[in-house]
Structure 1
């Protein structure tokens, strides 16, 4: 009678261990952005800014209850309010692709776990210039790749609500900063990473939206002074 080979028996534990290890590794990096967020200080592509507070080390995160159903009188002119770094100052909504997320003034891993980030090197919603907001592709901006030209995007704040219309879909490399500049056009730029299961992508996808309607909740301070 021939003796059975011991090789398969010796290799089996090794193969099982390797297979389990591979599965655990894939689970640990899916989605990859969540793991990457803790390895990189800023998702905002090294778009460095000077925080208005103590900075990332002493970050004070403030969550705000934003009224998205304001029904009072509004004005087409008013004053925007710049919040403290780390403060939720807005809610962004795009009903066409089911986006509804809080927006924080600042950037970095901690804030991106909570919502979208409006980089302080741009302007706040309703301001003059480019409002740049990013979020993770596996969470708050998971549906951003579905937006189409003509879709409506609204941003709600404590000082007003602002309506934008998608005018252009964009793709760019992480090293390309042309879409992230403040500029002189009153627009909204939304972007996120290209969805990639197993590795970090250097490509960014998103859209540019034109500001089509400003609705401030209070009259401009200058006009109030003139009346007095």
Structure 2
């Protein structure tokens, strides 16, 4: 008789645990899913609002990030000069004729392009022989790129030096055209963004600005600090 009573109590306890535990589990799962959705929406909303921010806000962010560290373009002592890593903000791009001034990041995924121009990670860094490729959104940092003309000057003030380029070519290419990323035996800089500029939705083409190096120290001559393993 005692065994039957004990068994009933165990079954009863299991039912209570199930009745209480399931709602709690469902509640926690719901909160988790809502939090993830809210974070995604918040990130997207932040991106949308940045379209209307004045460009000075972006530059202010770069200045704040640089405070307490080596100034961009100031050629810090070799003991502090580390090679840029993926995700780093490592400079400032200026196209004066198009009223463009924006931070430059290593990498061109959504995170980097949210805050400025991003360097395609498969391209060379300024100062090396080849093609340095920078992307930017047409509704933010590169919205006025169409105002730049052949012969205009582009400046990159980087953590390891300043590089000056002269625009040599401007063209519109298909969005699937991989020649935008093609390397070269010259020191080139390529800026590209979506086109048409006022298009809403997935743009079919890319607006591509190519410039040749005028002045800048070779990357091989810069004494970067070797990272310890």
Question: TM over 0.5, yes or no?
Answer: yes
Note if 1:148 corresponds to 2:152: no
Greater Rg by CA: 2
Q: Which has the higher contact order (CA 8 A, sep 6+)?
A: 1
- In the TM superposition, what whole-angstrom CA distance separates every residue of 1:53-101 from its partner, at most 9, and x where no partner exists? xxxxxxxxxx8427357499xxxxxxx9641111111110011111100
SS at match of 1:117: strand
1:199 equivalent to 2:201? Answer yes
The offset of 1:215, in angstroms, is 4.3
Deviation digits for residues 171-224 of structure 1, max 9, x if unmatched? Answer: 111111112122222100000001243332120002100001014799655xxx
CA RMSD in angstroms comes to: 2.7
- TM-score normalised by L of structure 2: 0.60
Q: Name the residue aligned to 1:67.
A: 71
Cα drift, residue 127 of structure 1: 1.8
Count of residues in Structure 1 that have an aligned counterpart in Structure 2: 154
Task: State the 1:126 CA deviation.
Answer: 2.0
Extract structure 1 runs of 4+ deviating beyond 6 A.
none
In the other structure, the counterpart of 2:176 is 175
> Unpaired runs of 5+ in structure 1?
1-33, 36-62, 73-79, 222-228
- CA–CA distance in 2 between the matches of 1:71 and 1:121? 25
Pairing of 1:1-228 with structure 2 (within 5 A): 64-65=65-66, 67=71, 70=74, 82-194=83-195, 195-215=197-217, 220-221=222-223
Unaligned regions of 5+ residues in structure 2, if any?
1-46, 49-63, 224-229
CA distance in 1, matches of 2:82, 2:218: 11
TM, length-normalised to structure 1: 0.61
